Amino acid sequence: GQNIDQPTEMTATEGAIVQINCTYQTSGFNGLFWYQQHAGEAPTFLSYNVLDGLEEKGRFSSFLSRSKGYSYLLLKELQMKDSASYLCAVRNAGNNRKLIWGLGTSLAVNP
Amino acid sequence: NAGVMQNPRHLVRRRGQEARLRCSPMKGHSHVYWYRQLPEEGLKFMVYLQKENIIDESGMPKERFSAEFPKEGPSILRIQQVVRGDSAAYFCASSPREGLADEQYFGPGTRLTVT
């Protein structure tokens, strides 16, 4: 079967660094996405990894290890507005663009 | 460039009625995806369409649900004879024609409430 696992909830302090992990088991792999979703709003794209390594984009970075079926999203200098759900999604191999989604990690940033 | 548009934003239906949800993808995008999300839960894939074609409908219930993406006009998700369990947020996303690295852009969603 296909499975994506993320922690359900995390808590961190404003100004700190937090790492949100995602492990996946899929029938193929053609890229991993991270999205942010604030309560009551639509998901918004954060990052895309298809090769092993770290992709940095401002305060957010995303890492991928294909051999381990593992990714993490790193958020630095946390701000209150970063309180949201963070969704990990994997695209299978082939031409089907369907994404397999994790249930999301709800991050609470406290002052 | 306008983003993905969905309407209505909120829809209330009585049990047994039909619900029609519309999605206009971003300009130049020919791939549309529909998702359902219950409160406190993740996104559940329903269907993936290209213009005039259903590519993958593995996440859509076989009965009462249908989707289309005609050559002209928005994509439509139709739910017939709605039941209380259909109450959820329905998101539409679109992506461009070329490239597998392209991300999906989400619309604001339609909140369906069945009374």
Say yes or no to pLDDT of A96 above 70: no
| Interatomic CA distance for residues A85 and A44, integer angstroms | 11
- Say what the pLDDT of residue B28 is: 85
- Spatial neighbors of B109 by CB under 8 A, at least 6 apart, are A41, A42, B6, B9, B37, B89, B90, B91, B92
Chain B environment of A62 (Cβ under 8 Å): none
3-state secondary structure of A82: helix
Q: How close, in Å, is residue B64 to chain A by CA atoms? A: 22
| Interatomic CA distance for residues B76 and B92, integer angstroms | 10
Distance of CA A16 to the CA centre of its chain: 18
Choice among A66-70, A86-90, B37-41 with the minimum mean pLDDT: B37-41
| Interatomic CA distance for residues A62 and B110, integer angstroms | 30
Q: Is B56 in contact with A31 (Cβ distance < 8 A)?
A: no
- Say what the pLDDT of residue B98 is: 56
B71-97: pLDDT as tens digits: 999 999 999 999 999 999 999 999 886
Chain B environment of A27 (Cβ under 8 Å): none
Choice among A6-15, A37-46, A63-72 with the minimum mean pLDDT: A37-46
A43-86: pLDDT as tens digits: 999 999 999 999 998 999 999 999 999 999 999 999 999 999 99
